[in-house]
């Protein structure tokens, strides 16, 4: 069993950050990050067999890979608050995913994973390109508290989250993954089945189609930083630490917003201390403004679009929020034309969205 405690090279606002790597009884990794060393002894754990990923199949008309993992049909679905698998464990109670009574921030291998480092080669299917689903899927638990958001956890906790993301970027690229996507899905309307504040990380064997397109755009010489400077006056929401939050004029979702450094950086691992503070602040500030505008916890999809492993040097990081609401009482559904063509029909002008969020 692996149980290691180490201090990370990176700090958060001058504070040391510690990481404990603990191997669960079923063999999955659990990482606990915090400003204090985590040394608690584990409680009893489950020890069931875990599926090791699915399989990849190529779609010849869309020219993209999709991943199939039938065991995910049995993943946890809206458990009672007393059965929250992301909460700390309690002595004498059924174990959760985290066999400790307390932690600051935790990341563990997803029990219902699509990708896995040891994924098996799939059986051959005549006429279909297949491949093993190499990669990794992880769950990021922001806090031991069952209620909260990026807006309500502290600035220190958001800095800790970014440090954990950066540590996982390094480890997953070193594993051989080509693209790493930290993301958060929030709200029933997005299909979230666990409301404990958390996100996920998917590490892919190759950069997916949108990221391939972005790499090509940057390789062709696109200067996103120049556009950000042009867009900020009209479309900007807030600025901090050399980063801007804005509603891009080509937004695909109503109230879509981005956080990006004004000067190019491939990912948050390349940020200065000032930029890390600014990024952490804007993650909370955008979430706060969304909740204030929609007068409810806003359903959204957040993704960190950092450089893939073989990206051009001028790749420019963005964190992109896709709200799934277009008004406080109206859901933005993805209609047939959007699903079949990829052409989004946007009901709110980005200028109007920027004005509304900036005013809050």
Tell me the angle at which helices 273-294 and 155-175 cross, rounded to the nearest 10 degrees. 110
Q: Could you report the per-residue pLDDT of 203-229, keeping only the tens digit for each?
A: 999 999 999 999 999 999 999 999 999
- Domains 3-206 and 211-358 equal at CATH topology level: yes
Instruction: Please provide the CATH number assigned to the domain covering 3-206.
Output: 3.30.428.10
**What is the per-residue pLDDT for 22?**
97
In tens, the pLDDT along 93-105 reads 999 999 999 999 9
pTM of the predicted model as reported, rounded to 2 decimal places = 0.96
Helix 224-235 vs helix 350-358: crossing angle, to nearest 10: 60
Average pLDDT taken over every residue of the chain: 95
Burial of 305 (0-12, 13-18, 19+ CB in 10 A): buried
Output b/e per residue, 215-238; b: 16+ Cβ within 10 A.
beebeeebebbeebeebbeebbbb
Residue-wise pLDDT tens digits, 107-160: 999 999 999 999 999 999 999 999 999 999 999 999 999 999 999 999 999 999
3-class SS string, the chain: CCEEEEEEEEEECCEEEEEEEEECCCCCEEEEEECCCCCCCCCCCCCCCCCCCCEEEEECCCCEEEEECHHHHHCCCCCCHHHCCCCECCCCCCCCCECCCCCCEEEEECCCCCCCCCCCCCCCECCECEEECCCEEEEEECCCCCCCCCCCCCHHHHHHHHHHHHHHHHHHHHHCCCEEEEEEEECHHHCCCCCCCEEEEEEECCCCHHHHHHHHHHHCCCCHHHHHHHHHHHHEEEEECCEEEECCCCCCCCCCEEEEECCCCCCHHHCCHHHHHHHHHHHHHHHHHHHHHHCCCCCEEEEEECCCCCCCCCCCCEEEEEECEEECCEECCCCHHHHHHCCCCCCCCHHHHHHHHHCC
Chain length of the chain? 360
Q: Are 165 and 129 in contact (CB under 8 A)?
A: no
Q: How far apart are CA 88 and CA 347, in angstroms?
A: 42
C-alpha span between 236 and 201 (Å, rounded): 28
pLDDT bucket at 76, cuts 50 / 70 / 90: low
Question: Where are the chain's structural domains?
Answer: 3-206, 211-358
Q: Which residues pair with 12 in a beta bridge?
A: 15
Q: How far apart are CA 210 and CA 64, in angstroms?
A: 10
- CATH topology for 211-358 is HIT family, subunit A (3.30.428)
3-51, pLDDT tens digit by residue? 999 999 999 989 999 999 999 999 999 999 999 999 999 999 988 888 8
Give yes or no for residue 73 having a pLDDT over 80. Answer: no
From CA 261, how far away is CA 281, in angstroms rounded?
13
Q: What is the pLDDT of residue 46?
A: 85
Cβ-contact 211, 316 below 8 angstroms:
no
Q: CA 103, CA 165: separation in Å to the nearest integer?
A: 17
Token pair 């004005």 is found at 355
| Cβ neighbours of residue 356 closer than 8 Å, sequence gap 6 or more | 255, 293
Q: For helices 350-358 and 273-294, what crossing angle results, to 10°?
A: 100
Average pLDDT over residues 174-202: 95
Share of the chain above pLDDT 90, in %: 89
């Amino acid at each position: 069993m692996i149980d290691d405690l180490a201090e990370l090279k990176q700090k958060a606002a001058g504070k040391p950050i510690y990481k404990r790597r603990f191997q669960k009884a079923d063999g999955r990794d659990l990482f606990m990050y915090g400003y204090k060393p985590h040394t608690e002894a584990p409680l009893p754990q489950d020890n069931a067999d875990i599926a090791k990923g699915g399989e990849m199949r190529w779609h010849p008309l869309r020219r993209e890979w999709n991943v199939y993992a039938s065991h995910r049909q049995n993943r946890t679905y809206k458990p009672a608050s007393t059965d929250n698998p992301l909460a700390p464990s309690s002595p004498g109670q059924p174990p959760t995913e985290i066999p400790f009574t307390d932690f600051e921030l935790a990341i563990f291998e997803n029990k219902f994973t699509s990708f896995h480092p040891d994924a098996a080669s799939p059986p051959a299917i005549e006429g279909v390109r297949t491949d093993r689903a190499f990669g990794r899927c992880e769950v990021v638990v922001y806090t031991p508290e069952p209620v909260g958001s990026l807006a309500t956890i502290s600035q220190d906790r958001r800095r800790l989250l970014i440090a954990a993301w950066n540590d996982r970027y390094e480890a997953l690229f070193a594993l051989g993954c080509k693209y790493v996507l930290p993301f958060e899905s929030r709200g029933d309307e997005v299909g979230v089945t666990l409301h404990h504040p958390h996100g996920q990380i998917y590490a892919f064997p190759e950069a997916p189609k949108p990221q391939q397109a972005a790499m090509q755009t940057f390789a062709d010489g696109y200067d996103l930083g120049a556009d950000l400077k042009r867009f900020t006056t009209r479309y900007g929401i807030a600025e901090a630490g050399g980063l801007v939050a804005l509603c891009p004029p080509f937004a695909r979702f109503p109230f879509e917003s981005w956080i990006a450094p004004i000067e190019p950086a491939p990912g948050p691992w390349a940020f200065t201390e000032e930029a890390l503070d600014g990024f952490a602040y804007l993650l909370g500030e955008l979430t706060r403004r969304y909740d204030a505008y929609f007068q409810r916890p806003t359903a959204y999809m957040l993704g960190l679009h950092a450089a893939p492993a073989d990206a051009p040097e001028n790749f420019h990081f963005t964190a992109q929020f896709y709200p799934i609401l277009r008004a406080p009482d109206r859901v933005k559904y993805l209609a047939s034309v959007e699903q079949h063509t990829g052409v989004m029909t946007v009901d709110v002008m980005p200028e109007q969205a920027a004005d509304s969020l900036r005013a809050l």
